[in-house]
Structure 1
Amino acid sequence: MRYLYEFKKDPFGDIGIVLPEEISLFSDFIENIATEEQADEYMEYIKKVLDGTYQDFVIELNATSVFIKKDVTIVENNFRIEEPFENTIETEQFIELLLVWREKISEIFKG
């Protein structure tokens, strides 16, 4: 994994992922993934972009959306008050972030 990350509890006791500033908006997207099945579904879409089945793919969740292309993935949060409203990451790194989150889901959403 090229980017550093850590898991932290917010004031409400929920666990979130903290990412470097240049990709911090990806946490807004990733933290809305509540099941391993949902993470797997999104990774399947990404694999289809990488293998050329899809030219690109968009996933929209709550306030965020990701635009997946073969080389890069762009996340947008149109409800942010301050810039940046979007971040970009290499698509392969985005898959790695999803895998990191997927491994933590059972702990985060237990019960």
Structure 2
Amino acid sequence: MKYSYELKKDPFGITRIVLPDEISILSDFVEDISTQEEMDEYIRYIKNVLEGVYNDFEITLNTTSVSIRKDVTIAEHHYRIDEPCENTIETKEFLELMLIWEERIIDESRE
């Protein structure tokens, strides 16, 4: 992945993903995904957009949503007060981020 990231535990023992400011809203999005089944579904949607099965696809979670297009994915935070409320990432990089989080889900389910 071309963006730096760090997986770290917060004071409550919950794993967080720290991303650069230009894509930080995606942290809130991926951290809402907690099961392998949910992750598989979202990865399938991303791949379908990349393969042209869908022109675009939107996923809305608790506080964030992503609008997935073939070239770019736009993440929006619905409740953020401070700007920016949107981040843009290349869709292939978004898929890579999701695969990183998927591995975290798998690893934590083995513990």
When normalised by structure 1's length, the TM-score is: 0.93
Matches of residues 59-74 of structure 1 in structure 2 within 5 Å? 59-74=59-74
Give aligned-pair identity as a percent: 59
- Cα pair 1:15 1:108 within 8 Å, conserved: no
Give the distance between the partners of 2:109 and 2:24, measured in 1 at CA: 21
Q: In the TM superposition, what whole-angstrom CA distance separates every residue of 1:24-73 from its partner, at most 9, and x where no partner exists?
A: 10000000110122111111111111111111000000010000000000
Normalised to the residue count of structure 2, the TM-score between the two structures is: 0.93
Query: Letter of the aligned partner of 1:6 in structure 2?
Result: E
Q: Indicate the residue corresponding to 1:6 in structure 2.
A: 6
What is the CA–CA distance in structure 1 between the aligned matches of 2:96 and 2:50, rounded to whole Å? 14
Aligned residues: 111
- My pick for the range that moved more, 63-72 or 31-40, is 31-40
Conserved? CA contact 1:14–1:108, under 8 Å: no
Query: Once structures 1 and 2 are overlaid, which stretch shifts more, 10-19 or 63-72?
Result: 10-19
**Equivalent position of 1:85 in the other structure:** 85
- In the TM superposition, 1:87-102 aligns within 5 A as 87-102=87-102
C-alpha RMSD of matched pairs (Å):
1.4
1:100 offset after TM fit, Å? 0.3
Which consecutive residues of structure 1, in runs of 5 or more, have no partner in the other structure?
none
Residues in 1 aligned to 2:103 and 2:11: alpha-carbon distance in whole angstroms: 23
Q: 1:109 to 1:11 in 2, by over 3 A?
A: farther
Structure 2 unpaired stretches of 5+? none
| Amino acid corresponding to residue 51 of structure 1 in structure 2 | E
